[in-house]
Amino acid sequence: MKEIDISRIQEILVTAATDIGLKILAAIAFWVIGRWLIGFALSIIRKGLEQQKLDPTILRYVGSVVSVTLNILLVIGILGYFGIQTTSFAALIATAGVAIGAAWAGLLSNFAAGVFIIVLRPFKVGDVIAANGITGTVKEIGLFSSTINTSDNIATMIGNNKILGDTVQNFSNTPYRRVDLKYQLSGAADQSAAMQLLREKIAAIPNVLQDPAVEVNILEFNLVGPVLAVRPYCSNNHYWQVYFDSNRVMSESLAAAGFPAPIATQNLIMKQS
């Protein structure tokens, strides 16, 4: 009798293990095939949108939305194949507590902000912007966050809600920008001659615009002498090249022309009582 029971139990275990194993293999197959079909569908959608000559920002955003939606449907379909009631997840999420609700609220706010960024278009992929304390080139506007590559080549992800809720500076929205520089001039130097020389030398730097012209004016005075405000204009792509070249030209041109170097001096007057 015991032998019959053991054989029966073994038979049940083998049958159950076989059934579960087949379901796991089927789920893996569904996942692999489903991911391939999703990739194939995304490629077709992307090609179709590219033929419409849509903006790259919209292309990436639509691709992200479709990809997330199809992957969620694939997971729900696999769970349904295992006999799991997917509707029970709604009740589980509803009873998970305030923490999960707050997290979802943050995700939804980032999602809504991403939609507004696409619609209002304060910037697009490829623009150089400053937002939330980060300055760099926009590489991607995603469902919940945007990726900005800084000038030192660091990919920085910022939540869309933080970007839209902060001040955004778009440097690519105008054809040119101003480079703000300062130069300390000696009090013994000829101010007018120095300013004229700097206007001519900096205007000759590659990629410095002639219109608007280079601005060189006295900004302030200190104990050493006048401080000059030197302001050339250039396109956003040439900003740092003009910035560094202007500093070099200011130092070399004034020294070559024989202008005295700015030196901080102090006069000590001693009186004998």
| CATH code, domain with 32 | 1.10.287
pTM of this prediction? 0.58
CATH of the domain at 204: 3.30.70.100
Whether residues 189 and 206 share a domain: the answer is: yes
From 68, 95, 122, the end of a domain falls on 95
- Token digits of residue 65: 């939305």
- Mark whether 89 and 18 lie in a shared domain: yes
Residues 158 and 197 in one domain: no
Domain end point (choices 173, 194, 215): 173
Contact call for residues 240 and 136 (beta carbons, < 8 A): no
Residue 26 lies in a domain: yes
> How many domains in the chain?
3
- Based on the fold, state whether residues 46 and 76 are members of the same structural domain: yes
- Based on the domain organization, do 133 and 201 belong to the same domain? no
User: How many CB atoms within 10 Å of residue 40?
Assistant: 10
Q: Which residue range(s) make up the domain with 39? A: 2-95
- From first to last of the 273 residues of the chain, give the pLDDT tens digit: 444 567 766 777 777 777 777 777 877 888 888 888 888 888 887 777 777 666 666 677 677 778 878 887 787 777 776 666 555 555 555 555 555 455 556 677 888 888 888 888 889 888 999 998 899 999 988 878 899 999 889 999 999 989 988 889 999 888 899 999 999 998 888 899 999 999 999 999 999 999 999 999 999 999 888 999 999 999 988 999 999 999 999 999 998 998 888 887 766 777 777
Question: Does residue 272 fall inside a structural domain?
Answer: no
Vertex 87 angle, CA 85 and 89, to 5°: 95
Residue 104 lies in a domain: no
Q: How far apart are CA 81 and CA 27, in angstroms?
A: 8
Residue 102, in any domain of the structure? no
Residue whose C-alpha is closest to residue 151's, from 232, 235, 240, 234: 240
Within-domain flag for 196: yes
Residues 10 and 86 in one domain: yes
Q: What number of other Cβ atoms are within 10 A of residue 190's Cβ?
A: 14
Residue 269 resides in a domain: no
Alpha helices in the chain (DSSP H): 2-51, 56-81, 88-94, 98-120, 160-164, 191-203, 239-256
Same domain, 129 and 86: no
Whether 168 and 185 map to the same domain: the answer is no
Tokens of 10: 């073994």
154 and 218 together in one domain: no
Residues 266 and 227: their CA atoms lie apart, in Å, by 18
Whichever domain contains 130, its CATH number is 2.30.30.60
